[in-house]
Amino acid sequence: MPDASKNNIGKNDKEAPNWSRMHLWQMQPIRDVLLGLGIFALIIIGQKTSVVTVPLLLAILLAYLFEPVIVWLMRKFGASRRVSVIAIMVTMITFVVLPIMAGGAYAAGQLVTFTTDTIANVDRVNTALAEQDTDAARARLAGEDGSDTEPVPGAFLWVYDEIKQSERDPDSSMGRSLDAIIDTLSSNSEQIAKTTASVSVDLVNRALGIVGAAFGLAFMVFVTAFFFFFTATEWIQLKQFGTKLLPDKNRDRIIDLLVKFDAVISGFIRGRITIAFIQGIVFSIGYFLIGVPGAFILGPVVAILSIVPYLALIGLPISVSLLALQGHDGFRGEWWWIVGAPAGIYFLGQALDDYVWTPMIQGKSTGMDTPTILFASLAGGALFGVFGLLIAIPIAACVKILIQEIFWPRFKEWAEGRADDPLPIE
């Protein structure tokens, strides 16, 4: 009669792995490490080939963002997906790219002129401060000496008066501070002037470099548009391919989480980008009407900052300073206009964002309140800069979903004694 124990031992020995005959990559811990290294290598390769990967990823993002628009065009006008994608590309070039280029060029010229005039006014004030005849110097600055010299803006006259007051009143700290600022600007005026002039001189001296950069940018735009066309037209097939890559065991659970992530991320990104685009128009036109120089640069910058709640407030002191230094004639040169007009533009833009655009376009897609959004934005900015500001809110919303759907149920089971630990990892 055969020994059963010997048979069992032999069977167990046959099923047990023979470590002496296994390669390193056949061991599960080594395979996990190799998988992580492989993913890291793909990231490094993608970074090294960014001339292709960046336009590809940007095209996928644009296809993802414009998918609802493409579907709406197909349903509304009965157009094919290919025609709808072409219509979107033509519209974006006509009404977004070209106006931004034209407005940016105009605003850049404004800022160069504004900076040059400001340096000249600083030199005029510094020269007037060195003169003995105070009344004559002030009259010349104010344009009241009968000459054809343009008067300096009111802000420079105020600086001149405060500094002169500090000479009569030694306890005036404001005048001493302004005098120190004037001395600093005057002593470095040549370098400032050279830096300012280089903005326009380099356009000529470095024409070949600019042309090369322009061709590089044009190539990047062309490659992105090329990938976007094919990605957007094949978006359904691309989603189906991505679904097939998910493991069968947890596919339904992963898809459910991805759908919830999509509702949050797409709602926030599409909503905030749309709102920022509208706010860019509002701020640019508003700043232009009240006389702020470089309105078509400052407006879009403030609109981008408005993606984070109340961060557009940074544009208020900047617009007030630019308007004060510009020195407009008439009521636009009065102090109440210099302070009140930019404040009115800010509060108008903020009110439109809070009570019109956000409820109408974005709603409560992130499912988070304003303090949480502000905290996430500041934390993301502190950790990863501007990039962190943009991705902090969607990531925080996705983390909230993971906590609600995966971690919190497991934690409740552990707290109630139905699980050995609170981690949802088996």
Q: Which domain holds residue 184?
A: 114-204
Token pair of 152 as six digits:
């300096």
* Co-location of 315 and 343 in the same domain: yes
pLDDT confidence bin for 190, thresholds 50/70/90? low
Q: Is residue 187 part of a domain?
A: yes
* Co-location of 340 and 372 in the same domain: no
Q: Is residue 419 part of a domain?
A: yes
51, with CB counted inside 10 A (0-12, 13-18, 19+), is: exposed
Are 318 and 298 contacting, i.e. CB atoms less than 8 angstroms apart?
A: yes
* Co-location of 377 and 356 in the same domain: no
Question: Which range among 83-87, 148-152, 226-230 shows the weakest confidence by mean pLDDT?
Answer: 148-152
Nearest to 159 by CA among 136, 126, 135: 126
C-alpha 122/C-alpha 124 separation (Å) is 5
* Co-location of 280 and 195 in the same domain: no
Q: Is residue 303 part of a domain?
A: yes
Q: What kind and span of H or E run contains 95? A: none
| Structural domain ending residue among the three candidates 309, 344, 363 | 363
C-alpha 230/C-alpha 389 separation (Å) is 30
C-alpha 223/C-alpha 221 separation (Å) is 6
Q: What is the mean pLDDT of residues 124-135?
A: 79
According to the model, what pLDDT value does residue 130 have?
A: 77
Over residues 201-217, the pLDDT tens digits come to 554 455 555 556 667 77
Torsion angles phi and psi, residue 420, rounded to 5:
-75, -30
* Co-location of 317 and 385 in the same domain: no
- Asked if residue 104 has pLDDT above 70, the reply is yes
Over residues 61-96, the pLDDT tens digits come to 888 888 988 999 999 999 899 999 999 999 988 888
* Co-location of 136 and 165 in the same domain: yes
* Co-location of 354 and 375 in the same domain: no
Q: Is residue 388 part of a domain?
A: yes
C-alpha 181/C-alpha 188 separation (Å) is 11
Question: Which range among 145-154, 190-199, 280-289 shows the weakest confidence by mean pLDDT?
Answer: 190-199
| Structural domain ending residue among the three candidates 171, 204, 237 | 204
| Structural domain ending residue among the three candidates 176, 204, 232 | 204
Q: What is the mean pLDDT of residues 222-242?
A: 90
According to the model, what pLDDT value does residue 9 have?
A: 47
Q: Is residue 329 part of a domain?
A: yes
- Asked if residue 142 has pLDDT above 60, the reply is yes
Q: Is residue 177 part of a domain?
A: yes
C-alpha 197/C-alpha 191 separation (Å) is 10
- Angle, alpha carbons 298-194-179 (nearest 5°): 75
* DSSP class per residue in 14-60: HHS--GGG--GGGSHHHHHHHHHHHHHHHHHHHHHTHHHHHHHHHHH
The pLDDT > 70 percentage for the chain reads 78
* Co-location of 125 and 193 in the same domain: yes
349, with CB counted inside 10 A (0-12, 13-18, 19+), is: buried
- Asked if residue 168 has pLDDT above 90, the reply is no
* Co-location of 372 and 359 in the same domain: no
Three-state DSSP class for residue 228: helix
According to the model, what pLDDT value does residue 140 have?
A: 82
Q: What's the mean pLDDT when you consider all of the chain? A: 78
* Co-location of 375 and 346 in the same domain: no
Question: Which range among 1-5, 337-341, 354-358 shows the weakest confidence by mean pLDDT?
Answer: 1-5
Quote the number of domains for the chain: 3
Nearest to 303 by CA among 275, 274, 279: 279
According to the model, what pLDDT value does residue 234 have?
A: 92
- Asked if residue 289 has pLDDT above 70, the reply is yes
Q: What length is written for the chain?
A: 426
Q: Is residue 395 part of a domain?
A: yes
* Co-location of 175 and 131 in the same domain: yes
According to the model, what pLDDT value does residue 1 have?
A: 46
According to the model, what pLDDT value does residue 344 have?
A: 94
* Co-location of 346 and 418 in the same domain: no
Contacts (Cβ under 8 Å, ≥6 apart) of 163: 129, 175, 178, 179, 182
CA distances from 46 to 54, 55, 110 (A): 8, 11, 40
Q: Is residue 199 part of a domain?
A: yes
According to the model, what pLDDT value does residue 230 have?
A: 93
- E strand intervals along 203-357: none
